[in-house]
Structure 1
């Protein structure tokens, strides 16, 4: 089995993906970590790529986001728009190139912030799942706001196991004052595509947030793979 994990090398994204990749690789599964050409500079400069690939069953590959040799000096909305426009074709070409070289991808896992990857996997007839790198609580909140549940961002919001949440309690990216218009669009597109994925892979476990997990299970098939926290952090006093 050969699983491709598609992700952005942004803050808070890389560690959960690396933890998940390590879990899969320890079971003898071949893993390709696919991120953008902009991310390549960050990963290779820090020596992370060589360290991860030294494990033997994990390889890094890169697809174009339009800024192949420099860090983009654009706002987030413009970057994400261009990433989707170029990434669809570039990622598909990468998968086809790997297959031609005897490394056929048999499963794709995407991050929540690249929902268009689901379309690429569907076109290539490769099964796909979404790795939700945040908690089930955040997942259920975003579903209420962006997933068509009818809340329309109204407050207070009631979530399983928590007191009422008011405006000051909510993630800033979900509020009308959020300057990045691409975020609501991306999350809305993600929930709209869940019918085309096998399952959501949740960064949680039953005893951590049981009520939130039960809610998420009622929305779409979910498999818990967490907590995806580096062991070194768990061992800190």
Structure 2
């Protein structure tokens, strides 16, 4: 049985001392949950990756920000940013390189592979119609994910889209878990950089890992940006009839 107490303690500790290098002793996978537009998180992620690499404790760096199958494995430690970006098939419009580049390049310079872990976009349509994904989460977790989809879209999505969008979320978490599991190395930790919701032990990536994989979720403290996310989403979404 997974050590739930350890996971909960990790969530609490995450906000207490975010600048301290995480303790990964006995940990197979460190799941770092970020706020995608929190500028302060970029430096923390770079420091975590560089620090763990210096200690010889970093097995790989896995990213929500790149598709599964993309990898820097085989690149020299001296590889430049353009070479690394090409290897990861980086989408700079969706994921600004200046935010994630420091952590990625710290891993490459240390000779540690950087791996895309997300569900490829061309697989998302199939996931939307895959009813088998509904059964991968316990009932309460599935309902929680569905509610997260509603709230994350400011309750502007038609109800008919909630289940398909939740399936994409579940499929993405499963892909990240697969990437982590394939990258495990004894005595070292794989680090995943992903949105905070993906690393939640009750609904996210940890649910898709075997109980034998020792995980530590670490959620970075939220940062106030002053943005009105719902107003921004309204501008992006087509007008719907009342």
Q: TM-score, normalised by structure 2?
A: 0.34
Higher helix content, 1 or 2: 2
Greater relative contact order (CA < 8 Å, ≥ 6 in sequence) = 2
